[in-house]
A and B are shown apart, each in its own frame.
Chain A
Amino acid sequence: MQKMFKLASKIQCDVLIIGAGGAGLRCAAHILEKRPGTRIIAVTKVAHPQKSHTSTAQGGLAAVDPKDAVDQPIYHMFDTWKGSDCMADQDVVRKIVDAAWEEIVWLENKGMHFTRDEEGRLSKRTFGGHTVRFGEASAFRAVFEADRTGKGIMDNVWGEALKGGVTFLDQTILTELLRQGDRCVGAVLFMEKPGDFVAVSAKATVLSTGGCGQVFRVTTNCRQNTGDAHAVVLQAGLPLMDMEAVQFHPTGIVGPGILASETLRSVGGILRNKDLEPFMARYAPKMKELAPRDLVARAIETEIREGRGILNPDHNIEHVWIDLRHLSDYVHEVQIPEVSGFFKQFMNLNPRTQLCPVRPSNHYQMGGIPTNSFGEVQRPPDTIVSGLYAAGECGCASFHGFNRLGTNSILELITMGRFVGERVVLHLDEAPGALPADAGERTFSQFGGYLELKQKENVEQIREEMRRMMTEQVGVFRTEEGLKTAIQALSAAKDRLREAGLRCKDLRMNQELVQRWELDNLLSVSMVIAQGALRRRESRGGHARSDFPQRRDQFNAHTLAYMVEFGKIRFENRPVNMSIFETKGDHFDKFGLIERKY
């Protein structure tokens, strides 16, 4: 048994990228463009980068075309600032919005199959929360590839990474970050197929592992999004930021919680309660169905809680309807084929003639690993961990603050992915650091422990109970009592895990082992979310406290949470960057602490 727990090999490379989705591979593609021949290893826990969760993103990419007669970057920045409920970092917002169009052109020139207008130019459409002239009217700002924009991006950056010579390690997980003093010098990985542990030495380590939505029972996130890098970062003594800022997408399909894209609303779908009333007119008189997601999610949740929802008997879940019956054939067949098809596929319903059941579903984690606007991981208040970067959903620069607008997420992947690439290139001529002598010890102790535990408890059972509890107590509406219940339940689950051993002891392709490890990660992430939500006694963006329903100025700061020992969290604050406001340029007043009404 002891023989299994040693490093099978030590690998050297220039850049180690953990997570081979849109952000990670955009980063890789940039580095290879500037410095061909750079040795890059991209690690993914799925079977192949194309299987990354990026591929499932539907909606579109927000980007202001400099040639647009009406739209301007300052409007996009404003929409993002307002949408964030005044918690996005303005230096990040400016940087990403300004870089957006260039990234779109890059994607298109590299072969992405954007939807076009009759002149052959990129089509544009509206999206919730995106406006011109500071909220006056909807902006045609999003470019898209039918309703599979994420797939387009993924196929594109994967192709470019392959072309440039990236080495892929599939079905491989990050178990430990390696440091020499303050510098990150690489990582320990577990390769699931051969069951081998390897130590990788790298000049730069990039974390781009996506979200952690599997902490919730009802989520759009894939099975693999279990917050692994989030947990590893905590173990390394580094903080996570704003983890309580969770987005609940208003319209997940009842049962599987699969995303029924905002596009359904952007093409004219109408939400109705059990009385068939189009209730959004009461919650957002101007924007109605196109109001930002947290607003729509709370509206639907309120309708359900006040008894105007409908109960689905198979899943025992309450929901409202989305009405697509009045939309044209063109819309059904060309604009929303995939997402409209979901109702047929997973509920046996015909959206052209039947109402479709939807309910709020966990969707996105606004919080994550704190970085600056270059994607460099921070050790607050003002130093960076050299050699360590984060981009995409697992990072928190913060672009989205406490609520993310649709079409801003996949924009973040390609922009932050590139910014990290730019930074990495600057350091490529430095010598790599030496790996610490005890590289892997922590991993071996953890994994060895799993094999020695009694097999009293079932991992899947505990995972299911924990996730259901999180959806109930740490979901769309939170209360002090509910959050305290959650924290206790998480500690109890952690105790039960002490007797959740493994029946399969062979390390090769051992799903049981990986799921046992994932559950530890899920519990860590859940604990940080629950305690962060408890500490933040206000409502802001996606974080809604029924007992503190207003936004409160005393909480105008990012939450930093350190947790080296399970359950024991040390909190700090990080100030919000207000650089657009402070520069006092045109429209600076729009970037102060503004009200968030639509």
Chain B
Amino acid sequence: MTPAIVVQTFALTRRFGEFTAVSRASLTVNAAEIFGLIGPNGAGKTTLIKMLTTLLPPSSGQALVAGFDVARQPAEVRRRIGYVPQLLSADGELTGYENLLLSARLYLIPRRERHERILGALALMGLMEVSDRLVRSYSGGMIRRLEIAQSTLHRPAIIFMDEPTVGLDPSGRRTVWEHVRALRRELGTAVVITTHYMDEADELCDHVAVLHAGRVEAVGTPAELKAKVGPNASLDDVFETLTGASFEAHGGYRDTKQTRLGAREHS
């Protein structure tokens, strides 16, 4: 049974030595909503996601995901979440079907249900025709959809997606959006995505949290956030007003390299 609130964090903090990547973040994500974490590269989005997916222990604060504490009950959290990292998590040397079979076994989906569950996921993500092809021959958008399929086979209460459309062309991005919506509609999965595309957050998300330098600066629906700034404001304007910084000012060589590498792997 899925609780009404799937993510609740309280003053969640992660430090790397002197550097504070995420500072006292408090957030709530409701069941079956699409929640966007927006901010430039280096704002702490990925660190926050890694803590919520149990890949990185918090330095202080607390986070409950799908009803369980990420620090104290990581195994219980993992059973109930899906995660699509920014990096490539589908194995290029396996076929789409084989990638899904691997996930089905790791997530202990009963043997007699595996095949049907995999076919259902392939159909939902529009990958039926290519399921027997090696993933290294897939397009970037197809790989992303396969990654969504393999991280939702076990019907998680929530799926975390880190920059799911980075490096995709506009039609690839739209298709991923449609499939994210389908996931929520068909399975009632809550979705947390990070993005630095403001239009993506605006169009896709029910609620958005603006992150800047590790802090949560504002949370609300895209409309609420924009209304606070002005009648014709865009989410970019919201970001500039909240942080006093232009979006373009961020992202040095390291961030650019990371984004480009990600883009190359998914193109």
Asked if A and B are interacting partners, one says no
Chain A interfacial positions (CB closer than 8 Å to B): none
Residues of B at the A interface (CB closer than 8 Å) are none
